[in-house]
Amino acid sequence: MTKIIGLTGGIGSGKTTIANYFESFGIPVYIADDEARKIMQSSEIIVAIKNVFGDAVFENELLNREKLAKIVFNDPEKLEKLNKIVHPAVKKHFDQWLIQHKKVSYIIYEAAILFESGGYKNCDLIITVTAPVESRIQRVVERDKTTRELVLKRINAQWTDEQRISKSDFIIENTAIETAKLQVVKILKILKIKQKVL
C-alpha cells in the first residue's frame, strides 16, 4: 500500500521548492494548494463560495482570490467556513489521485495547513520545512506582490513552527537551498530503510 509522506511548513518556508526537489527523484508529489486553486474555479465550489461570501468576492463572475484572502485572514470564522467548502473537495481529488499512484512505495502530500485541516491524520510520516520568519515574509511579499501586514496575518492564521515540529518526523531547515537539498537526500535514504518496516 502506498505510504503518504506529509510535507508542510508555514507560508514562505519554501516547502513547494522542497516538494519539487523530491519530485526530481521521481517521487509523485501532490501540491494541495495548487489543486485547491484549480478546484476553487469549479462551478460547484463557486456556487458554494457565493452562497457564503456573496458577490463581493467576485469580479465579472470570476473569483477574486485577493479579496477573499483579505476577508478570511481577518476573520477566523470565515476562514473556517471557506476551509469547510474547499477541504472536502481537495480530499476527494487527492483520493482519486492516490489511486492512480497505488503502485509506488510512497508519495509526497504537500499542504500548507496539513495540521490545521486535520490532513496529517492520513499521513504515515510528516516532514516540516522551517525558515526564519523575516525570510518567509520577504519571500511572500515578493512572490505574491502583497503587503507585510497581510503576510503576517496569514502567518498568524497558521500553526507555529514549534507546533508543527512537535508532530513531525523530519525537519528541513530551509535557510539556504543547497543545505536544504542535502537534508532531502538524507531523508530519502532514511525512507528507503523505513520502506522495509513501514
Is the pTM higher than 0.85?
A: yes
Q: Which of 105, 107, 139, 147 is nearest to 9 (CA)?
A: 139
- At 167, list the grid cell: 508532530
CA–CA gap between residue 12 and residue 2 (Å, rounded): 29
Which pLDDT value is given to residue 28? Answer: 97
Q: Is 16 annotated as a binding residue?
A: yes
Under 8 Å CB-to-CB from 138, ≥6 apart: which residues? 12
Which domain CATH number covers 175? 3.40.50.300
| CB 16 within 8 Å of CB 117 | no
- At 87, list the grid cell: 477541504
Amino acid at the residue 37:
R
25-47 residue pLDDT tens: 999 999 999 999 999 999 999 99
Q: Is 166 annotated as a binding residue?
A: no
Residue 126 lies in a domain: yes
Residue 63 lies in a domain: no
Q: How many domains does the chain have?
A: 1
| CB 29 within 8 Å of CB 19 | yes
Residue 130 lies in a domain: yes
Q: Which of 37, 95, 90, 97 is nearest to 62 (CA)?
A: 37
Domain that holds residue 21: 3-39+90-193
Q: Is 13 annotated as a binding residue?
A: yes
Q: Is 10 annotated as a binding residue?
A: no
Residues in the chain predicted with pLDDT less than 70, given as ranges, are 195-198
Which pLDDT value is given to residue 120? Answer: 96
| CB 93 within 8 Å of CB 35 | yes
Q: Is 179 annotated as a binding residue?
A: no
Which pLDDT value is given to residue 196? Answer: 55
